[in-house]
Each structure stands twice: as C-alpha cells, then as structure tokens.
Amino acid sequence: MSSDRDQETSDRSQGPSPRQHDQPCGQESDAEAAGLSHSLSHRGVDISAFYNSYFQAYEAYQSSKFHLDLNNLGFFHLDVSENKLCSDLMAERLCQKDMDDVEDIQLQAPNPRGHPFLREAVAQFLTSYCSAPECLFSRNVVVLNGCSAVFSALSMVLCDPGDCFLVPTPFFSGFIFGTKMCTNVELIPIHLETEITDEDTLPFQLTVGKLEQALLEAKTQCKKVKGLLLPNPQNATGHVYSQESLKEFLEFAKRNDLHVVVDEVYMLSVFDDSVQFHSVLSLERLPDPQKTYVIWSISKDFGLGLGALYTPNEDVAFAVSPFSYLHSISGIVQYHLRCLLRDRDWIDRIYLPAVHSRLRTAHAYVITTLRELEVVHNFKIFFHSRSCGLYLWINLKNLLEPCTFEEELVLYRRFLDHKLILSRGQSYLLKEPGWFRLCFAENPDKLELAMLRFGQAIAEQKQYWIQKVVQYIPELEETDSSSSDDN
C-alpha cells in the first residue's frame, strides 16, 4: 500500500464532518456540496457519499486483505463484526451429510416471513437459549438476512419519517447511514460514559436516570421519540444486565409509551461460565409485550447471514413481512440454518465450548499484552471488560497530549500505518477522546502478530507523547514570568 493511499484512507477515515455529527440528518444534501449528479437523485448521491465516508476503511481492508496481510483488531458495529475464531468448525459442520439435501422447498418462492421450518427452529432455539418461561411461537418470528435489516424494517413500521429512537453509546455512527437513508429515522445517542478517574470507574453504565435524562432532552428539542434500542449484553463492556435491571429499563419504556428493541445479538458470546446471561425473553412477565421486540443474529455466532425478530406483537410481525422479502435469505441457506439450529448436540458439545474457550484465551492474551505494555511504557490504559462479546474498549487518553479528538485521530492513523484497523471512539459518538475498540475474536497467530504491531504503534506513540509534553514545558515556564531561562 503506497503512502498516498494510506493517507487517503486515513483522511477519509476521519469520519463524518462535524455537521453530520451534530445533525444526524443533514440540512443540505451532499449533492449540493459535491455538485449534482446527472444520474442519481439527491438521496442517491447522499447514499453513495455517506457509504463512502463511513465504510472507507472497510473497503480498504477488502481490497487489500488478500495480498497485504492487513491485520484487523477492529470492525464496524453490528453486521460487520465477525467472529473468525470458529469458521473452521462451522465450515466443517456445513460440509456434513445433512447439509447436502437440496429439496424443492428450498428452491421455491418462500413464505415471505421465512420458511416455516426455519422460523420454527428459531422459536425453539430461542426458547431454549433464552430460558423463556413458555414456548415461543414461530408465528411471532420473522427472519431477514441480518440484524441491520431487522432494525431497518422495524423502523419503517414503528416510526414515521422524522421520528426518533434513543440509542446508548457507544454505537457506530455508520448505523445512522441505514436508518437515515432508508428509513428516515433519527438515532439520538444516550451518552453513557463517565469520566475515567480510576481503575474502578465503570464506564458506559446504563441507568434509568440516564434514560430519563436523554428522553427529557430530546423532548425539549421537540423530537418525537418512538422507541429505545437496548443492547443486551451491554455492547461496550460486555456487562450482562440482571433481570431486575432489564425490568427497570422495560418499565421506563412502558411509562413513556416507547417501543423497546432489544438487541441480543451477542447472547451466545458470554465466554465466562460463571456469568449468567439474561434475555428479556426469560422474564416471567414483560411490562409491555406489545411493544417489545428482540433481535437476534446468527452472523456473529455462526458466520451466516440471519437476523431474527421475535415479538409478541403479531401486527408488527405481519407488517415486517414485506421487508422480509426484500431482505430475504436464500432457501438453501435457510435450510442450512435450520439444520444448524436443531443440532443442539453439536452446538452445546462442540461449537459453543470451542467458541467460548477460544474467546477466553484470546481475551486473556490481549489483556496480558496490554498490561505488559503498561509496564514497559509506564502509562495507564483504562478498560473494563467483562467476559462477553468479541471486543474490548480501551481508553488511551494517557497517550494523548492534549486529550482531544484530533490527537485521537493521530493515534488512529498511527495504527493504520502499522496496518491495524481499530475503531475509534469519535466514530462511535463518544464524548471523551481516547477510546479505541479492539476485536479480539481473531485466530491466535494473527492475533499475536496484530498485538505485536499494536505494541510497536504504542511505543511510537509514547515517544511522540513525550516530545509533545517536553514541548509544552518551556512554554509553561515562559508564562511564569519570574523564572530565569538557561536555554
């Protein structure tokens, strides 16, 4: 990769312009800024522009991955996060005999909500793994080709153009792309982070108080908030909510007549056996079942494109059906998925234990490496990672001088120079600079190489930081009017 291209990549990875940050739905179209297209509508131009600016780094990865050994410790939110750790097991399972059958039903035009055989398998799967008190019904399941598609469809039927959803940070600002471009729904961030003061500070903690505050602020700005998107487990720290906490959040939503879309896509990625995951579907009673929707995705866990919606609201399940057709899953893939989901034996005895064990190992390795780097370079990295999920948010504010988003970008580019793509906090709408996200769900040898490069980047950054600090010292002394200057 030429240095020009690196530069290009990092410039565009800077993320959206300030205008786009403040106003998720821009006042003027990019067409006016960029010059009219002769072919595309204004929204067509906006779609291309938005996509390009948000997904540049991903595209760079795609175009270079085969011949440059570009290591990735970070991915974008939702659909693009991958668990590469067990692709081998999955590939092996997909080659087994039962996957060979190609029956007519797979080739035929499907029931728009997804083949009944798959919806049944999903209902049974969720009943079991979510510990639902009663059997879940397949008629309340709709399958689409990914969780972004599910949220997109829900936005279309639950919201009118211009309505809003509250979403806790960090969440990938590229997610705004889909909701704005296709469904015209505004996502309002609920800023969760607290200032890092010491090791014990729990960042990104969701409380009912923060929900109330965010809703109030939105209302004072005359925003029409229709719902809340709630990731469970918590997507930054992997914190697993207790049933009581979940109930509190759902009660808040009910009090305020909000829809609650619970994103449980990382449900199976709890790799610490001592931690118990609680799905909202495990609650004895939902405060407002007609406004509760659970999204589950197999893409993270199994590497195949499936987004499942479960909701007791049959009206909504029905209304989502036409979108299921646009975001359809191939009949053959539906069949494979059914086979997989029904093979409890393979999931429980082979796949999940392997996934959890590999995640544990990878997670531990990364933590250890980070601790070592702290010692070697004598600085503190803040992170708070529970035993769930595919990534780790770390705060490198102690290597930023001054601690600003500009310096965060400098560090981001330094990682890119070392052929690492990490996600940075500003792209996830965090207010405090210095946050970076590492995806550790990578194969051991690649992970080792990646952490080696990470260490090199940190070493460089430390030197750069020292120079910056030293630079300031004479300036500080100059402002002290009385001291003499020996330089």
Quick check: 171 and 193 in contact, CB under 8 A?
Answer: no
Name 393's bridge partners. 437
Output 181 or 403, the one with its CB closest to other proteins.
181
Q: Output the smallest distance, CB 164 to other proteins, in A.
A: 10
Q: Does 100 bind other proteins (CB under 8 A)?
A: yes
Q: Is the dihedral of CA 264, 90, 59, 12 positive or negative?
A: positive
Q: Does 12 bind other proteins (CB under 8 A)?
A: no
Q: Does 353 bind other proteins (CB under 8 A)?
A: no
Q: Is the dihedral of CA 266, 267, 272, 277 positive or negative?
A: positive
Q: Does 41 bind other proteins (CB under 8 A)?
A: yes
358-377 residues near other proteins, rule: CB under 8 A:
none
In the set 19, 34, 44, 469, which binds other proteins (CB under 8 A)? 44
Q: Does 318 bind other proteins (CB under 8 A)?
A: yes
Q: Does 158 bind other proteins (CB under 8 A)?
A: yes
Q: Does 346 bind other proteins (CB under 8 A)?
A: no
In the set 16, 331, 425, 434, which binds other proteins (CB under 8 A)? 331
DSSP tag of 136: P
Q: Output the smallest distance, CB 365 to other proteins, in A.
A: 21
Binding mask 45-84 for other proteins (x = CB under 8 A): x-xx-xxx---------x----------------xx-x-x
Of the listed pieces 146-154, 194-202, 229-237, 463-471, which binds other proteins according to CB under 8 A?
Answer: 146-154
- Could you tell me how far CA 402 lies from the centroid of its own chain? 28
Quick check: 189 and 167 in contact, CB under 8 A?
Answer: yes
Which residues in 371-411 belong to E strands, given as ranges?
382-383, 391-395
DSSP reduced 3-state for 194: coil
In the set 4, 35, 38, 285, which binds other proteins (CB under 8 A)? 38
In the set 135, 202, 326, 466, which binds other proteins (CB under 8 A)? 326
Binding mask 78-97 for other proteins (x = CB under 8 A): -xx-x-x--xx-xx--xx--
Output 332 or 410, the one with its CB closest to other proteins.
332
Q: Does 156 bind other proteins (CB under 8 A)?
A: yes
Q: Output the smallest distance, CB 413 to other proteins, in A.
A: 24
Q: Output the smallest distance, CB 348 to other proteins, in A.
A: 21
In the set 6, 8, 98, 163, which binds other proteins (CB under 8 A)? 163
Strand duo 186-190 + 259-263: pairing: unpaired
In the set 60, 70, 121, 316, which binds other proteins (CB under 8 A)? 316
- Could you tell me how far CA 462 lies from the centroid of its own chain? 29
274-313 residues near other proteins, rule: CB under 8 A:
290-291, 303-305, 313
Q: How crowded is the C-beta side of 382, counted as CA atoms within 13 Å?
A: 21
DSSP reduced 3-state for 33: helix
Q: Which residue has the tokens 């300036």?
A: 475
198-227 residues near other proteins, rule: CB under 8 A:
226
Output 340 or 438, the one with its CB closest to other proteins.
340
Q: Which residue has the tokens 């209304």?
A: 319
Quick check: 123 and 137 in contact, CB under 8 A?
Answer: yes
Q: Output the smallest distance, CB 423 to other proteins, in A.
A: 15
DSSP 332-382: HHHHHHHHHHH-HHHIIIIIHHHHHHHHHHHHHHHHHHHHHHHHHHT---E
Of the listed pieces 43-51, 357-365, 460-468, 472-480, which binds other proteins according to CB under 8 A?
Answer: 43-51
Of the listed pieces 26-34, 357-365, 410-418, 444-452, which binds other proteins according to CB under 8 A?
Answer: 26-34
Output 157 or 275, the one with its CB closest to other proteins.
157
Quick check: 232 and 246 in contact, CB under 8 A?
Answer: yes
Output 188 or 275, the one with its CB closest to other proteins.
188
Amino acid at 318: F
Listed residue (423, 422, 126, 428) closest to 265, CA to CA: 126
CA distance 83 to 269: 10
Q: Is the dihedral of CA 398, 172, 185, 122 positive or negative?
A: negative
